[in-house]
Structure 1
Amino acid sequence: MEFIFQCARSGLGNQEKETFPKNSHNVHFSPSLDQKFRIPEVSPSDMIVIILSLDLYFRLIPKDSGLLKKFTDSIQLGKSCSLFDSYVTFTTWIQSVLNDIEKCNYVGELKRLYLENKIQELLLLHFDLYQQYHLNSQSPKISSENFEKLKEAKSLLDTNFVNAPSLTELSKMIYLNEYTLKKEFKICFGTTVKQYIISLRMKYAMDLIKEGEHSITEIAHKCGYNGLIQFSTAFKKFYGRPPTSLSRLP
């Protein structure tokens, strides 16, 4: 997994320099690690590279899981491949996980378990992003005008998920009728508006739990839930465990 904040490089013996888009990433598989690149000393470089063994990859993403299936099939055939055709901009969630990895101060076995968890989280975020790109490429019926409105809707939810607008309110905000918003949002982003809001709330809840400074009741309120039971039910459905199993505070 390559995460490029800023980098320019060329293959050995190749005078042509390749400049990567800033804040971009991709996932590659190669049956051999016999690859070398030259990074010009005058070019500032900032990147994170995570190299996984096949055993670890298939432990984190089982062969029969269906996640990243096309990519996994190529790996099993021993064919060099990349998840995306070209480097794509990483999301704020990917940036957040990379920050967690950089700031990790655990040691020993705890560090290994923590990093494996974060790497699996990155792979799942890659799958989510890949699914969005795949669905977009398979959706020629969505006009460019509607696509821009759908991106605006997603951006509005990204910043207002705690007090998220209703579907009716959101459709008025982006000047797109409710039926089209509901249908084409799922086509573009692979999830419903409601489920997208829940996913944003749950990821925010997990960040607050990691901080260890808030009770579950406080976190529920901060994530837009009026009741603890409603929040706990949503959290367990999303993560497979209740929030009390992770929180340091009651």
Structure 2
Amino acid sequence: MKFPPYKSTFSLTGAINTKKVIRYPLGFSDNTSFEKTQNKVCTEFVDAIFDEYLLHGAKIEMGKVNLKKDLSIDVKHNFPFFKMHFEIEGSSSYSPRNEKSLPVIIPNGYHQLFFFPKVDGVLSFPANITRNTLEITLSLSFVHKVFKDNWEELERLGDAIRNNQPFVFGEKSHKINSEMLLVIQQIANCKIDNHYRTHYLECKIIELLILQLQDFKDRSKDIHIIRHHDKIVEAKSFIEENISGQLTISSIAKKIGMNTQDLKKEFKINFGQTIFKFITARRMELAEGMLKSSSKSVYEIAEIVGYKYSQHFTKAFKKYFGVNPSTYRKET
């Protein structure tokens, strides 16, 4: 049997029997019209619904994903990977296995544009955030069709494609602007008949790509540089390892060697929520598990998850789940 040349492989990091292989024809579709499929995933830790559009030379994926636990996915693509990525809500990061490749960090409300000759690494997504994303993967034939040999229009990205080298627009994360959001909405709400839809979507992809290139070119915009990604990850680990303690912004900042303002700002950019909300979510998850599976009293659970006074824990639990801990235990 002859398989299509494009191959994508996904599996949950550290888990067995979760491998999924997806194959596409050269350029994602060998039809002149578009193909649309809708995918739904519902498990104990993820609820997702997203649409996939396959055009000749382009793949569009958009939808919403609600994660109940942090998720890491091993991913491989055996084809040149030119991607336009928009994290409308939520955040994601990619860590390559090959030290010669490049990481990609796309915070909440930001976009990125990158090229990899091949992909082999780990995708990571934080829990308790509903991700609303648009991801457009282009074949190099599509890029050639748009820009011909005018690689200078793609600036450094064009040089990387010509030299078959990985490229990401630095560590600078650019906010999705109103013009981009309008085009994203037009793609999502497209009602044009099948006969013309392919041409319409191709035009919108090109328009969105040009908006991205223009945004990256304009260095005078207010661009937030993620300077302390490793320290922010360290802060997250410190919180999770010391969730029973009296955690404060100042104590976390002191532990990782950052000032409190940078810590608060960059934590939210990286993980899509404030440190306070992250700590509360982790404490509530831990408390929920103990209410379901242990006979510990509410007072004991409050102490274990870092609350000095049980009444403060009860108030926080009710705000988070809608009922107090005792009622929750009875109902479950």
Q: TM-score, normalised by structure 1?
A: 0.52
1:143 aligns with 2:115: no
Q: Tell whether the 8 Å contact from 1:142 to 1:184 is kept in structure 2 after alignment.
A: no
Q: 1:128 is matched with which residue?
A: 129
Partner of 1:45: 17
Following the alignment from structure 1 to structure 2, what is the Cα–Cα distance between the partners of residues 155 and 14? 42
Alpha carbons of structure 1 residues 235 and 166: separation in structure 2 relative to 1, 3 Å: same
**SS of aligned partner of 2:224:** coil
Is 217-226 or 14-23 further displaced after alignment? 14-23
**Cα pair distance change 1:226/1:131, threshold 3 Å:** farther
Q: 1:22 deviation in Å? A: 4.2
Code of the aligned partner of 1:233: K
Aligned-partner SS, 1:81: strand
Cα distance change on mapping 1:197 and 1:147 into 2, 3 Å: same
Q: Does residue 243 of structure 2 align to residue 161 of structure 1?
A: yes
Give the whole-Å Cα distance in 1 for the aligned partners of 2:329 and 2:244: 20
Q: How does 1:165-204 map to 2 (within 5 A)?
A: 165-204=247-286
1:81 aligns with 2:53: no
Q: Deviation digits for residues 88-126 of structure 1, max 9, x if unmatched?
A: xx885569xxxxxxxxxxxxxxxxxxxxxxxxxxxxx76
Q: Secondary structure at the match of 1:247?
A: helix
* Secondary structure of 1:186 counterpart: helix
Question: Structure 1 126/221 Cα, relative in aligned 2: closer, same or farther at 3 Å?
Answer: closer
Post-superposition, which runs of at least 4 consecutive aligned residues in structure 1 deviate over 6 A? none
Distance in 2, Cα, partners of 1:160 & 1:131: 31
SS of alignment partner, residue 246 of structure 1: helix
Matched, 1:240 2:230: no
- How far did residue 200 of structure 1 move? 0.7
Q: Do the aligned partners of 2:286 and 2:305 also contact (CA within 8 Å) in 1? A: yes
Q: Which residue of 2 aligns with 1:19?
A: 9
Alpha-carbon offset, residue 129 of structure 1:
6.4
Tell me if the contact between 1:236 and 1:242 (Cα under 8 Å) persists in the aligned partners: yes
- Counterpart CA distance in 2 for 1:206 and 1:165 is 20
Using the alignment, how far apart are the partners of 1:91 and 1:12 within structure 2? 39
* Long gaps (5+) in structure 1: 1-10, 26-43, 62-67, 85-89, 96-124
Instruction: Map 1:105-120 onto structure 2 (within 5 A).
Output: none
Amino acid of the structure 1 residue aligned with 2:275: V
Check 1:209–1:182 CA distance in 2 against 1; reply closer, same or farther (3 A cut). Answer: same
The answer to whether the Cα contact below 8 Å between 2:63 and 2:132 also exists between their aligned partners in 1 is no
Q: Is residue 216 from structure 1 mapped to residue 217 from structure 2 by the alignment?
A: no
Q: Which has the higher strand share?
A: 2
Structure 1 CA distance for aligned equivalents of residues 235 and 242 of structure 2: 10
| Aligned counterparts of 1:194 and 1:148: Cα–Cα separation in 2 | 19
Match of 1:228 in 2: 310
What percent of counterpart residues are identical?
A: 26
TM-superposed CA distance for 1:142, in Å, is 2.7
Instruction: Please state whether the residue corresponding to 1:130 is helix, strand or coil.
Output: strand
Measured in 1, the distance between the counterparts of 2:299 and 2:269 equals: 35
Work out the CA distance in 2 between the residues paired with 1:231 and 1:209.
13
Q: Cα offset for 1:19?
A: 3.2
User: Superposition pairs for residues 30-109 of structure 1, below 5 Å?
Assistant: 45-46=17-18, 52=40, 81-83=61-63, 93=70
Distance 1:194 1:141 in 2: 21
Q: 1:168 to 1:237 in 2, by over 3 A?
A: same
Aligned-pair distance for 1:165? 3.2
Q: Which moved more, 1:227-236 or 1:164-173?
A: 164-173
- Cα distance per residue 1:135-180 (max 9 Å; x no partner): x954651334x12211111111121121143211211211111111
CA distance in 1, matches of 2:264, 2:282: 18
Q: CA deviation at 1:45?
A: 3.3
Number of residue equivalences? 169
CA distance in 2, matches of 1:227, 1:19: 49
Which has the larger helix fraction?
A: 1
Taking structure 2 as the reference length, what is the TM-score of the superposition?
Answer: 0.40
CA distance in 2, matches of 1:138, 1:238: 32
**Shift in Å, 1:210:** 1.2
Q: Which residue of 2 aligns with 1:152?
A: 234
